Amino acid sequence: MLREHLENGSALTIGAVRIPVEDSSRFGIFECDEKGHVLSFEEKPDKGKELPTAPGWCMGSMGIYLFETEELIERLEKDAALGVESSHDFGKDIIPRMIGEVGVYAHDFVDVDGRTDPYWRDVGTIEAYYETSLDLCSAQPQLNLYDYDWPIYTLWHNDPPAKTIHGENPDQQAQVTDSMICPGAIVSGGRVHQSILSSRCMVAAGADLEGCILLGGVEVGVGAKLKRTIVDKWVKIPAGEEIGFDREKDEKRFTVSETGITVIPTGYQF
């Protein structure tokens, strides 16, 4: 993408991916010539302009931009000066004004192995975030974090290795299946299935997690049960708590998505 940006002498290059036309209302949609030069840009239209070579598909923005620094500063200053006349949004205001005035190009994103169906996900909804995250736990995930030819770099915590240990009772054996356990996490006599435990998470004896995503530092108390639940950082789930089994009860305390995914925010106090 950077190489194309430099070769084109572009003021702005936008990462782009093909999306079904019925999903147009969720994305910024391009119209480009054969060289990738952007001719028009609509922010979340009801129906975007279809690709001439691929009916039923549009070229959508990935929200990834490469700007020339001076151009970006100038555009932001001009937009700020408009005050309430602008919504101060890249897709709605800044990018449309650039088209036709300076070189704006779209970079057609392809995967490292040259596939025409590159992996990219918009995680702007609870369902999309949940499904995309848990797909990483599958036997053959669509995004392979273990591909050393295409490394994924993220924030590094200098935590000890994850570990599993027995609970206090002989029958409380730690069980972890189809899950991802990050450094610093401990499963102590609990059951974890199809779930993600971020760094420093603790799962106590007798606890049961199924289809859950725990962010950093979450603690699950003795005998607590969680199903299809996302728990934000540093929340402490009390012993014996049950979440994800009674929607009416959960909705009184938490956010519950259309498909029944419960979300517990950081800082929540039980």
Per-residue pLDDT tens digits for 199-224: 999 999 999 999 999 999 999 999 99
| The domain boundary residue, chosen from 56, 90, 120 | 120
Q: Is the pLDDT of residue 190 over 60?
A: yes
Range among 14-23, 64-73, 144-153 with highest mean pLDDT value: 64-73
Q: How far is CA 214 from CA 51, 83, 118, 195, 230, in A?
A: 40, 41, 28, 8, 6
Q: Tell me, letter by letter, the H, E, C secondary structure of the chain.
A: CHHHHHHHCCCEEEEEEEEEHHHHHHCEEEEECCCCEEEEEEECCCCCCCECCECCEEEEEEEEEEECHHHHHHHHHHHHHCHHHCCCCHHHHHHHHHECCECEEEEECCCCCCCCCCCCCCCCCHHHHHHHHHHCCCCCCCCCCCCCCCCCCCCCCCCCCCEEECCCCCCCCCEEECCEECCCCEEECCEEECCEECCCCEECCCCEEECCEECCCCEECCCCEEECEEECCCCEECCCCEECCCHHHHHCCCEECCCCCEEECCCCCC
| 66 and 165 part of one domain | no
| 148 and 216 part of one domain | yes
Q: What is the pLDDT of residue 121?
A: 85
| The domain boundary residue, chosen from 120, 155, 176 | 120
| 95 and 150 part of one domain | no
Domain extent, residue 243, equals 122-270
Side-by-side strand order, sheet with 38-43: 38-43, 28-32, 57-67, 12-20, 104-108
Q: Residue 197's domain is classified under what CATH number?
A: 2.160.10.10
Q: How many domains in the chain?
A: 2
Q: What is the pLDDT of residue 156?
A: 81
| 72 and 152 part of one domain | no
Q: Is the pLDDT of residue 256 over 80?
A: yes
Q: Residue 79's domain is classified under what CATH number?
A: 3.90.550.10
| 126 and 107 part of one domain | no
pLDDT bin (cut points 50, 70, 90) of residue 116 is low
Q: What is the pLDDT of residue 262?
A: 98
| 65 and 113 part of one domain | yes
Q: What is the pLDDT of residue 114?
A: 57
Q: What is the mean pLDDT of residues 94-116?
A: 82
| 196 and 263 part of one domain | yes
Among 145-154, 156-165, 197-206, 260-269, whose mean pLDDT is lowest?
145-154
**Which residues have CB under 8 Å from 26's CB, separation 6+?**
44, 122, 124
pLDDT bin (cut points 50, 70, 90) of residue 168 is confident
| 154 and 255 part of one domain | yes
| 76 and 141 part of one domain | no
pLDDT digits (tens, 9 = 90+) for 39-94: 998 888 999 988 888 889 999 999 899 999 999 999 999 999 999 999 999 888 99
| 40 and 143 part of one domain | no
| 110 and 160 part of one domain | no
| The domain boundary residue, chosen from 120, 147, 181 | 120
Stated pTM of the model: 0.81
Q: Is the pLDDT of residue 6 over 80?
A: yes
pLDDT digits (tens, 9 = 90+) for 221-235: 999 999 999 999 999
Q: The tokens 């890249």 sit on which residue?
A: 90
